[in-house]
Amino acid sequence: MPQNLQKYFQFSPFFTDSAAMSDLAWERLQDKIEKTPPTLANLLTNNKTSSFIESLTQKYVQLSVQGSDIARLIRDVVLADMFIGDMPQELSQRLGIDPTTAREVANQIISQLFAPVIEDLKKVHREKFPGRLPAKPQGPTSSYQGQGGQASKPQEQGTGEQAHQQYASRYQGEDLPESGGNIIDLRQK
């Protein structure tokens, strides 16, 4: 059990750097956390967050000794000390990793760790960094958001449902048999 507790303190965004903080810095951190929505405060202290960071450092070998740095970065994003859109650049600079890997890590943090609290996180970031997050979509004619949050090309005028169906029919793969449809099997010739 002491090993698990040690890892929790190492990878927890709440506790990382706590031993080195002055009493005043610790109080300031706690004050910031108290002012955040409860879902975000819970994310910082939750054991699942530290487990996520630990598994992330195991997946990317070059991050194995930088779990505390990732925890610190997550804390900075949750407390809006750093803009969420700057995560890839910050990961690359702080951790000394290439931009492609930094983007992959940032996408995993957002899609897996931040997914349950993304609306609260967006709200905090809209207040702290006005104009940096795209505005909320207005009405049913907004463009469809594809995977990864990328907007599709502008569609002909119509409802949001029609745009979704056009997107789905255009970009979803067809179930083709291994030898049939548009595929020519040259192995048999």
In a domain, 99, yes or no: yes
- Phi-psi label, residue 172: left if phi above 0, alpha if psi -120 to 50, beta otherwise: beta
Which stretches of the chain drop beneath a pLDDT of 70? Answer: 1-3, 61, 64, 135-189
User: For residue 18, what pLDDT is reported?
Assistant: 84
What φ, ψ does residue 151 adopt, rounded to 5°? Answer: -75, 145
| Residue 145 dihedral angles phi and psi, to the nearest 5° | -95, 115
Residue 176: inside a domain, yes or no?
Answer: no
What pLDDT shows up at residue 17?
Answer: 83
- Tell me, what's the pLDDT at 169? 38
Number of domains in the chain: 1
Per-residue pLDDT tens digits for 141-171: 433 344 444 443 333 334 444 433 443 333 3
**Predicted pLDDT of residue 134:** 74
90 lies in some domain: yes
DSSP secondary structure letters along the chain:
-HHHHHHHHHH-TTTTTTTTS-HHHHHHHHHHHHHS-HHHHHHHH-HHHHHHHHHHHHHSGGGTT-HHHHHHHHHHHHTTSS-GGGHHHHHHHHHT--HHHHHHHHHHIIIIISGGGHHHHHHHHHHHSTTTSPPPP-STTSPPB-GGGPBPPPPPSS-HHHHHHHHHHHHSPP---SSSTT----TT-
pTM over 0.75: no
Crossing angle (nearest 10°) for helices 67-78 and 38-45: 170
Domain limits for position 87: 2-128
